[in-house]
Amino acid sequence: MTTQTTEKTPNTPVTGAATGLIGIPPHLGRALATGGGLLTIASTFLAWTWTAAFPGDLTVYGYPGGLQVLVLIGGALTTLFGLSSYGVKGLRWLTPAGADAALRFAALATFATTWYTVLAISLQLGGLVNLEPGAYIAAIVTLTALLGALALPFERPAPDPIDPDETGWSLAKHRAGHGWQTVKAAFAAGEPGPVRALPSYAEILIIVAVLAVCLTVFTYGIGTEYDELFVGFLITAGFGFAAAHKAGLIRQATQITARHQTITIWGAFVAAALFPFTQTDDQYATIGVYILIFATVALGLNIVVGLAGLLDLGYVAFLGVGAYAAALVSGSPSSPFGVHFPFWAAVLVGAAASLIFGVLIGAPTLRLRGDYLAIVTLGFGEIFRIAVLNMDGTSGPDITNGSNGISAVPDLNILGFDLGARHDVLGVTIGRFANYFFLMLIITAVVVLVFRRSSDSRIGRAWVAIREDETAALAMGINGFRVKLVAFAVGAALAGLAGTVQAHVTYTVTPEQYLFAGTTPPNSAFLLAAVVLGGMGTIGGPLLGAALLFLIPNKLQFLGDYQLLAFGLALVLLMRFRPEGLIPNRRRQLEFHDKAEAPAVLGKTGA
């Protein structure tokens, strides 16, 4: 059955007979969705409950608070996408890939956050009687907006190739190297064409805006003060990201940042450096420094897994080797060596110890492949934990104090700057964890530099060749064993580098910190999940994956025994709908979406 429409561009309202999930005409559904978004914004300025017992104080008229702010954001997105779907010229840039799908996800985000808030108020305060008219209005209008959005057609109509206002595929088809059939097939597959290059200053401003939005979202998420607000944040952020992806904004931002990769990387580090200045105390800087430690180790694992394709299930042991090595030489009273190396020497000791262990473990095991290699590395991780547990002077030599670990590791003092003390910078008091946050940011920058330079080098191309087809790579003259051993050693050294800082941040290094799996990271399972979910073979993927995988379990502790269940369901859904990862490598994206991309490849051949 074919569907006829009169739509000329992705942003022009459909006036034909196409319908969505419900039998409402598309033009009426679009009006309901857009009007519902406007009324949702207005409802957030009303009181939703009469008592301040519910966190966020939703009793104030004229000033949204708590979860109302998230509903306001969702309503604004719904309204903007709705107006863009009507072809409002000043808003067409919001939906380069079409507005209908984006409008559906925006309406769903608003509906889910609103109804979650209403149900939370009713359950926590003891019934619907605790709701004020603003809550009823918000519930009704968000449901109306969702029903209107579901009435929109799911088919993507073909755009008019001669429309001069189109900024998607019709402009892209004029770019060198992209034929007519290529761009047309890519658009039909749901992928907008390459973005028209803007002036450099305009693209840099866009990158700054994107980084500012990312910093704002991360700061808001990490600073949520109560559980209900964080759950609402997850709902809004998740569906909001899906809406931006369907609108084509994520793809446009990706193409722009790819043209200015160096500026993007430096800008990301500047934005991250501003994070401690956005906090009123050291509480959330604590989470920030642990996220950076976790992210740095994940990026090192990305060399092993993402580039070389070696499944390492005991990678957290290298973090432990670096942490123990640094703790033993940093002046801890629990250390049997009785030495206190300066920071730079402790860093070298930790990284060198991990590198040596990586070579010692990799040399006899890297001739294995696939599942056999995974089992051996899993065994190494458990051997390391059991070995340091038994080095207590009773079961083995007195080196690591057994289960008590190396305690009282002193704070770092770098060139007279005590990282354990509070300092005033630009009128802002920077605490202990903020100091370590800046130190870890520098180390993360070093790891990013190593990853980027190595992935673009000859050895990096050899890693990718081994990952794709080891037999073919060996036939082309690549020394597979040597290449894999280099990847193993480099990844281990980067993990040990992060471990040297972890030892000083946590004060105590114990065997229980380096398990294969547990409820909280870092452990080998979470590290591997961060690489796979974030995007294998990329720089930003493991960093984003590690941040999410550390932050979400930390914030979901109120779920108790159901925490891992909720977390597992979230992973299943992410793998179902975005198997290539949040920030995918282009090659892996093609592998997971080969059917959608095949017409574009064929079209290019025939162009």
Model confidence pLDDT, tens digit, residues 373-400: 888 888 888 888 888 888 877 777 778 8
Separation of alpha carbons 84 and 61, rounded Å: 30
SS3 at position 194: coil
Residue 148 and residue 107 in contact, taking contact as beta carbons nearer than 8 Å: yes
SS3 at position 98: coil
Separation of alpha carbons 84 and 474, rounded Å: 53
pLDDT of res. 511? 85
Buried b (16+ CB within 10 A) or exposed e, 361-372: bbeebbeeeeee
- Which helix or strand (DSSP H or E) is residue 111 part of? helix 100-125
Residue 462 and residue 303 in contact, taking contact as beta carbons nearer than 8 Å: no
Which residues, given as ranges, of the chain have pLDDT below 50?
Answer: 1-17, 157-193, 595-607
Long-range contacts of 156-162 (CB under 8 A, 24+ apart): 156/10, 156/98, 156/187, 156/188, 156/190, 157/5, 157/7, 157/10, 157/14, 158/184, 158/187, 158/188, 159/8, 159/9, 159/10, 159/187, 160/8, 160/9
Buried b (16+ CB within 10 A) or exposed e, 71-102: bbbbbbbbbbbbbbbebeeebbebbbbbbbbb
Separation of alpha carbons 242 and 405, rounded Å: 45
Residue 434 and residue 285 in contact, taking contact as beta carbons nearer than 8 Å: yes
Separation of alpha carbons 490 and 481, rounded Å: 14
Is the CATH code 1.10.10 the one for domain 274-557?
A: no
> Which residues are within 8 A (CB) of 554 and not within 5 positions of it... i.e. 6 or more apart?
287, 520
Whole-Å CA distances, 125 to 55, 139, 224, 228, 556: 11, 18, 21, 13, 21
Looking at the chain, which residues constitute the CATH 1.10.3470 domain(s)? Answer: 274-557
pLDDT of res. 2? 41
| Ordered DSSP codes for 41-61 | HHHTTS-SBS-TTSTT-TT-S
Residues in the chain: 607
SS3 at position 583: coil
Which backbone phi and psi does 221 adopt, to 5 degrees? -65, -45
> Which residues are within 8 A (CB) of 8 and not within 5 positions of it... i.e. 6 or more apart?
159, 160, 163
pLDDT of res. 180? 37
